[in-house]
Amino acid sequence: MSDSQVTIIGAGPSGLTLAWWLVEQGISVTVLERETVIPSDMRASTFHPATLDLLTDSGLAAALIERGTVVPQWQYLIHESGERAVFDMSHLSEVTAYPFRLQCEQFQLTELLAEKLAKQPLCELRLGATLQSVIPGESQVTVQYQSAGEDCAHVCDWLIAADGASSQVRKSLGLDFDGQTFPKTSITLVLEYPFEDDIPNLLGVNYVWLPDRHYSLMRLRNTWRLTYSPEQDQDIESALSEAIAQTHIARVSPRASGAAILTRNYYTLHQRCLARFCHGRTLFVGDAAHLNSPAGGMGMNSGIHDARSLADHLVPVINGDDPLLLERYDRRRRTIAQEEVQRLSARNYARHRETEVSKRVLIWNELQEIVSDPVKHRDFLLDAAMIRSRQREMTIE
Ligand SMILES: Cc1cc2nc3c(=O)[nH]c(=O)nc-3n(C[C@H](O)[C@H](O)[C@H](O)COP(=O)(O)OP(=O)(O)OC[C@H]3O[C@@H](n4cnc5c(N)ncnc54)[C@H](O)[C@@H]3O)c2cc1C
């Protein structure tokens, strides 16, 4: 006898959306999460239209909109001259109920899901449960984990690895995670300072070019997030120091110099992907399966798209269909991770961070050409809003 039909390791956005879509269809789920509270780290802040469309039926899209900031237009902005390339999401109003980017922290989604799942008798969320190892079997999977200092074991029919970039499930199975680390690291500061009062025409999402670097300024309900690459040779401690962080704030807005920094984080950025997302009865979703640059805000969104696709494939298998169906989940979501999400986010990474004048001119001309032509504008936004990758996924057999 198994302890649960499905066990999910990790209560991040991928793990909890999958848990929700499984219990909704009558599947019993146990979620094991290492932290003792739902993590509230400052990572994803952008929900794209394709994801909000998926979160409509559960009421989650509406609940997130209540907690976030709706951004119908976003832009590239040349800081010195004030020139702009403005992307207008209303070009997508025929293909989505949400023609905007929603700026809202990822923990708002996971907290909402944890609340909803707590009311579901089919779901058990065990916090403070750290996965140690996985023992795959022919018809079941055993996981060993630690909880409150005790060694515990748990048996399930299907195991889902949703335990993020450093996945212990992946390590326990000895799987390679091939790819590369991006040359530039990233720092994100969260401030309450009203940048909109200092910088004319600021929108909710801004990719801001200064002559020698790039800053992104993202609006959340009560705060702004300022993201940039520190100097290449700077150690993390200096890069995060108050003095150096304030220098960067002052470059974006001299009047903001000295503003209180609520949180500051340093990130190394990777692009990696598993060779397969399905390993017997252990199935991978989200950052545990693939990583990309956060430029353009696609990691969490694609993890949620994985979760939707996996629910659509796993439920029929649990109900008696041939497990070979899961191979289609692998083909669909691995293709999208590699050929859409990684391609687009790497292009964004390069576009945002370019500082060579002649290359910037080319990028700028291309952006202007896109925004001034309605067909190209819409086409560009179908990719950026992750609508095209969802459409393509459905065509992969
Ligand atoms: C600076 C930055 C900005 C970003 N901005 C965006 C954005 O705007 N939009 C976007 O779409 N994406 C963005 N991303 C990416 C996004 O944050 C990730 O893709 C997303 O969090 C992946 O979700 P996940 O559920 O797969 O993994 P995670 O969110 O990492 O969740 C994994 C969970 O597993 C738990 N866990 C780990 N190990 C164990 C273990 N051994 N046992 C039990 N539990 C375990 C962790 O505690 C965690 O709760 C950003 C990333 C960064 C770094």
Q: What's the pLDDT at 149?
A: 96
Q: What's the pLDDT at 184?
A: 87
163 touches ligand 1 (CB under 6 Å): yes
Confidence of residue 100 (pLDDT cuts 50, 70, 90): very high
Q: What's the pLDDT at 249?
A: 97
Closest residue by Cα to residue 280 from 338, 334, 327: 327
* C-beta separation of 304 from 50 below 8 A: no
298 touches ligand 1 (CB under 6 Å): yes
Sheet architecture: strand order including 213-219 = 84-88, 73-78, 205-210, 213-219, 224-228, 186-191, 261-267
Residue whose Cα lies nearest atom 1 of ligand 1: it is 43
32 touches ligand 1 (CB under 6 Å): yes
Specify the CATH architecture of the domain 4-73+90-179+270-324.
Answer: 3-Layer(bba) Sandwich (3.50)
Q: What's the pLDDT at 42?
A: 83
Confidence of residue 82 (pLDDT cuts 50, 70, 90): very high
User: What is the C-alpha to C-alpha distance for residues 281 and 274, in angstroms, rounded to an integer?
Assistant: 16
Q: What's the pLDDT at 1?
A: 84
Q: What's the pLDDT at 236?
A: 92
For 95-113, what is the mean pLDDT? 97
Q: What's the pLDDT at 353?
A: 87
Q: What's the pLDDT at 34?
A: 98
Structure tokens given for 24: 């909704």
For 339-349, what is the mean pLDDT? 96
194 touches ligand 1 (CB under 6 Å): no
Confidence of residue 246 (pLDDT cuts 50, 70, 90): very high
pTM for the full model? 0.97
